[in-house]
Amino acid sequence: DGGITQSPKYLFRKEGQNVTLSCEQNLNHDAMYWYRQDPGQGLRLIYYSQIVNDFQKGDIAEGYSVSREKKESFPLTVTSAQKNPTAFYLCASRAGPASYEQYFGPGTRLTVT
Amino acid sequence: EDKVVQSPLSLVVHEGDTVTLNCSYEVTNFRSLLWYKQEKKAPTFLFMLTSSGIEKKSGRLSSILDKKELFSILNITATQTGDSAIYLCAVNYGGSQGNLIFGKGTKLSVKP
């Protein structure tokens, strides 16, 4: 089955700890995205990557980091510098420059206490 | 500043009702407008609109874009409890990077 997988589904961490969220796709899509969703806020772009070994900051990149070493994988690290990390995180991918549709993974709900 | 505004933010209807969800936008270099349905987890793609006045339809859902007035509507006829979800509107803007700017969503609740 082709698709986007995110793991884990739920993640609990103590304040001050870094945590890495996984995102894998087997759609052979070029571009990948990370969004954060808070209640009543819609989706906000954290980071995106158009090709392997290249990525750009989105609107709310502070306190986050990413890597894109393989086309299929785009992990997101939530660092201790992120002031309010508790949120629902969604990963998405897009086929390429001629395609506007983004397809989403099931999300990871991160709770930091 | 680029923005996408959806209204209403929340809506409660009864099964069988028809609803209209609104999405207005102000973005530079508009390319397309997309509608997604989000139930509990991943938003699922509904429609993409690029041209004014051409209705896209899928079953009981339909959508249309007005590029002159900068808005789109999503209609759902004969609503069912399974239509309960958050409906997200997003606009693709700028160059070929394909980035989307999302509205805050409309939470639709359909009561039996």
Res. A1 pLDDT band, cuts 50 70 90: low
> With an 8 Å Cβ cutoff, are A45 and B104 in contact?
no
Res. A2 pLDDT band, cuts 50 70 90: low
> With an 8 Å Cβ cutoff, are A100 and B31 in contact?
yes
Q: Which amino acid is residue A8, in one-letter code?
A: P
Q: What pLDDT is stored for residue A92 in this prediction?
A: 96
Answer with the residue of higher pLDDT: A77 or B53: A77
d(CA A93, CA B108): 26
Res. A93 pLDDT band, cuts 50 70 90: very high
Q: What pLDDT is stored for residue B96 in this prediction?
A: 55
Q: What pLDDT is stored for residue A44 in this prediction?
A: 94
**Mean pLDDT, rounded, of chain B:** 93
Average pLDDT estimate for A57-72: 96
> With an 8 Å Cβ cutoff, are B102 and A101 in contact?
no
Q: What pLDDT is stored for residue B89 in this prediction?
A: 97
Residue of chain B whose alpha carbon sits nearest to that of A92: B42
d(CA B97, CA A30): 11
> With an 8 Å Cβ cutoff, are B97 and A45 in contact?
no
B48-61 residue pLDDT tens: 999 888 899 999 99
Token duo for residue A51: 């090709």
pLDDT at B47 over 60: yes
Does any CB of chain B come closer than 8 Å to the CB of residue A106? yes
Of A20-34, B49-63, B91-105, the one with minimum mean pLDDT is: B91-105
CB atoms within 10 A of CB A11: 16
pLDDT at A4 over 90: yes
